């Protein structure tokens, strides 16, 4: 017992030391309100009496008010946004969430719900002094029906833990993303997270069967059905999936888990140009059909960023473009046959210049790790502008060379990578440090170009704090009006995650 205590303390102190090093080695990010020139709305301010109330429904240690304790909750992980919250609440169940929200609504206190804080658009950190509602302690798995594959769990469960849990029962989570070790299922639902296998298993509007959420007035909306078919009236769960905590707080989800594939293979290929990437995708769809579970691309600079900044091994030589193909199937022999035919054909045709293919779990992990690490690989080099956009495949990669040309040597690096299967590209622009001047060269330019190409300015990261002013590039005014009406209906005082998603009229 005591050993464990010491162990835990050591872990905690390690984390604290690491965080201190992290925060001390780099200046704190500028306050979001100053950086983006936002005015505080007319919300109440948290008083001593409010803190006492929170302590009465939670307990002393689940109400954080010490400046150092609260700081990590005020900053997003890409260190782009910094809020000024004074209090973090850590409820343990739906009832506590409900009580907190009702109280805040009555007192007109703004609330910022936070899951794993892995978002990329500043949606999970406060802007001013919103009360941070940390959902991490709602982390219980409630049930798993091993026959239907339906998992019911609380919002704070970490995606990777859930995946480990269901894998032991021959199922997998229908989504997988780079942040899986930190992100929480409630956050995934609230942001309609996409990820690496959307191509195969669809998005969360499909795989989430039911949701329990808390409305702004504290009412618990229990739509936690486990039925795949439920056409009884309006499909309310969809209001909470992807609305980024502005319509309600997701507290539980029921989610449909696909069967654990018996045969998994990963191929990693070098390709000479983007046109070849597209041709290879077309060929992969035809040859691999139903076993294709991911088709990812990354340009040389993107992979090189993982290799040089994080010192990860690249299993093959250097090529202008890389493609990662994954198959999920139920029969190793059947899959291997299909895959070999595909590889033979495309090695012969020259679309694949070189590559490697493996079914060994450890090697597959190494390859995936190289791809998944791209997102975080440049953070030590300076400031990273990150874009997550959908662009029709014909013009999918156009923006990267355009941005390189436009920015010239003002950018340390510009690279693109993403999910070809979903027309979703991530573009990262690395600059030595953030300046308004460079920012204005990039935004709204990127969004204008995406709009011209009929793409979406936010494919999977959401709108959050960073993109409301650009949402009109992808949504018409009448649609925005309906969104506002929904917001007014469900959260009349506007306390839930303010300054996010909806643009000022």
Partner 1 sequence: MSRVLVGVKRVIDYAVKIRVKPDKSGVVTDGVKHSMNPFDEIAVEEAVRMKEKKLASEVIAVSCGPSQAQETLRTALAMGADRAIHVEVAGAEYDTLQPIHVAKILAKLSQDEKADLVIVGKQAIDDDSNQTAQMTAALLDWPQGTFASKIEKTDGALTITREIDGGLEVIKTKIPAVLSADLRLNEPRYATLPNIMKAKKKPLKKVSAKDLGVDLAPRIKVVSVEDPPVRQAGSIIPDVDTLVAKLKEGGHV
The answer to whether residue 347 forms part of the interface with partner 1 (CB under 8 A) is yes
Would you state the structure tokens that stand for residue 237, as one six-digit string?
A: 């769960």
**Alpha-carbon separation of residue 94 from 164, 212, 214 (angstroms):** 24, 9, 8
Pick from 248, 355, 376, 464: which binds partner 1 (CB under 8 A)?
355
Instruction: Tell me: does residue 341 bind partner 1 (CB under 8 A).
Output: no
Question: Per rule CB under 8 A, is residue 344 in the interface with partner 1?
Answer: yes
Among 146, 273, 318, 354, indicate the residue that binds partner 1 (CB under 8 A): 354
Which listed residue (359, 373, 441, 456) binds partner 1 by CB under 8 A? 359
Nearer to partner 1, 338 or 467 (CB): 338
The residue among 58 and 495 lying less far from partner 1, judged by its C-beta, is 58
Enumerate long-range contacts of 452-457, CB under 8 Å, 24 or more apart. Answer: 453/391, 453/392, 453/395, 453/398, 454/392, 455/389, 455/390, 455/391, 455/392, 455/395, 455/423, 456/389, 456/390, 457/389
Phi, then psi, of 145 in degrees rounded to 5 = -90, 105
- The region of 183-191, 304-312, 352-360, 381-389 touching partner 1 under the rule CB under 8 A is 352-360
Please list the helix, strand and coil fractions of the chain in percent, rounded to the nearest 5, in that order: 40, 20, 40
CA dist 419 and 482 (Å) reads 30
Q: Which is nearer to partner 1, 355 or 462 (CB)?
A: 355
Instruction: Using CB under 8 A, pick the residue from 4, 25, 37, 409 that binds partner 1.
Output: 4
Residue 395 interacts with partner 1 (CB under 8 A)? no
Pick 240 or 268: Cβ nearer partner 1: 268
Token duo for residue 61 = 């240690």
Do residues 179 and 236 make contact, with C-beta atoms less than 8 angstroms apart?
Answer: no
Q: Which residue from 38, 316, 453, 480 is in contact with partner 1, where contact means CB under 8 A?
A: 316
Regarding 147 and contact with partner 1 (CB under 8 A), the answer is no
Q: Tell me which residue of 97, 234, 253 sits closest to 186, measured CA to CA.
A: 253
Distance, C-alpha 302 to centroid of its chain:
19
Three-state DSSP class for 170?
coil
Min CB(8)–partner 1 separation in Å: 4
What is the nearest approach in angstroms of partner 1 to the Cβ of residue 314? Answer: 9
Q: Which of 14, 330, 365, 440 binds partner 1 (CB under 8 A)?
A: 365
At its nearest, how many Å lie between partner 1 and the CB of residue 355? 5
Q: Closest CB to partner 1 among 1 and 476?
A: 1
- Per the CB < 8 A criterion, the answer to whether 63 and 99 are in contact is no
For partner 1, the closer CB: 362 or 476: 362
Encoding tokens for residue 427? 């573009």
**Residue number, 172 or 471, with CB nearest to partner 1:** 172
Is the distance from CB of 326 to CB of 294 less than 8 angstroms?
Answer: yes
Please identify which residue in 289, 313, 394, 432 interacts with partner 1, judged by CB under 8 A. Answer: 313
Tokens representing residue 353 in the block:
């210049």
269 contacts partner 1 (rule: CB under 8 A)? yes
Question: What count of residues does the chain have?
Answer: 505
**Are 466 and 122 a contacting pair, CB within 8 Å?**
yes
Half-sphere exposure in the Cβ direction for 105 (13 Å, CA): 20
Q: CB under 8 A: which stretch of 6-14, 187-195, 370-378, 491-499 binds partner 1?
A: 6-14
Task: Return the residue of 345, 363, 406, 472 that touches partner 1, per CB under 8 A.
Answer: 363
Q: Which of 7-15, 173-181, 415-423, 477-485 is the region at the interface with partner 1 (rule: CB under 8 A)? A: 7-15
DSSP structure string for 441-479: HHTTHHHHHHHHTT-BS-SSS--TTTSGGGGGGTS-HHH
Closest separation in Å from C-beta 190 to partner 1 = 27
User: What are the residues binding partner 1 (CB under 8 A)?
Assistant: 1-9, 61, 262, 269, 313, 315-316, 343-344, 347, 352, 354-365
């Amino acid at each position: 017992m005591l050993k464990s205590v010491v162990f835990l303390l050591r872990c905690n102190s390690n984390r604290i030391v690491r965080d201190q090093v992290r925060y001390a080695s780099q200046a704190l990010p500028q306050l979001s309100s100053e950086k983006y020139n936002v005015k505080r709305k007319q919300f109440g301010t948290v008083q001593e009496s409010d803190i006492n109330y929170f302590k009465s429904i939670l307990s002393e240690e689940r109400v954080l008010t010490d400046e150092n304790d609260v700081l990590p909750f005020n900053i997003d992980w890409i260190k782009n946004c910094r809020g000024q919250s004074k209090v973090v609440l850590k409820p343990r169940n739906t009832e506590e969430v409900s009580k907190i929200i009702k109280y805040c609504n009555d007192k007109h206190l703004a609330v910022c719900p936070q899951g794993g804080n892995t978002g990329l658009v500043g949606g999970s950190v406060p802007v001013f002094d919103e009360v941070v509602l940390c959902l991490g302690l709602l982390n219980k798995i409630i049930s798993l029906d091993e026959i239907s594959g339906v998992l019911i769990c609380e919002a704070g469960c970490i995606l990777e833990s859930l995946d480990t849990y269901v894998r032991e029962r021959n199922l997998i989570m229908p989504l997988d993303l780079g942040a899986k070790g930190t992100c929480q299922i409630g956050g995934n639902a609230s942001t309609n997270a996409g990820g690496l296998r959307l191509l195969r298993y669809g998005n969360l509007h499909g795989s989430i069967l039911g949701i329990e959420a808390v409305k702004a007035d504290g009412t618990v909306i229990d739509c936690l059905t486990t039925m795949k078919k439920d056409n009884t009236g309006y499909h309310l769960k969809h209001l909470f999936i992807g609305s980024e905590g502005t319509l309600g707080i997701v507290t539980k989800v029921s989610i449909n888990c696909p069967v654990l594939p018996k045969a998994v293979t990963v191929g990693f290929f070098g390709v000479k140009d983007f046109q070849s990437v597209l041709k290879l995708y077309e060929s992969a769809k035809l040859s691999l059909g139903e076993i294709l579970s991911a088709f990812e691309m990354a340009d040389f600079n993107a992979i090189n960023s993982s290799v040089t900044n994080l010192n990860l091994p690249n299993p093959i030589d250097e090529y202008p473009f890389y493609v990662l193909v994954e198959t999920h199937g139920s029969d190793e022999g059947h899959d291997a046959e299909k895959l070999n035919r595909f590889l033979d054909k495309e090695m012969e045709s020259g679309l694949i210049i070189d590559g490697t293919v493996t079914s060994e779990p450890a090697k597959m992990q190494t390859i995936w790790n190289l791809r998944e690490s791209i997102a975080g690989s440049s953070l030590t080099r300076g400031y990273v502008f990150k874009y997550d956009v959908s662009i029709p495949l014909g013009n999918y990669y156009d923006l990267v060379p355009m941005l390189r040309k436009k920015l010239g040597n003002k950018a340390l690096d510009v690279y693109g990578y993403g999910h070809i299967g979903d027309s979703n590209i991530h573009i990262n622009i690395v600059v030595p440090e953030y300046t308004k001047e460079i920012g204005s060269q990039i935004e709204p330019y990127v969004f204008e170009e995406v709009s011209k190409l009929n793409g979406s300015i936010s494919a999977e990261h959401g709108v959050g704090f960073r993109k409301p002013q650009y949402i009109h590039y992808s949504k018409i005014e009448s649609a925005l009006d309906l969104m506002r009406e929904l917001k007014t209906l469900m959260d009349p005082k506007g306390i839930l995650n303010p300054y996010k998603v909806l643009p000022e009229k």
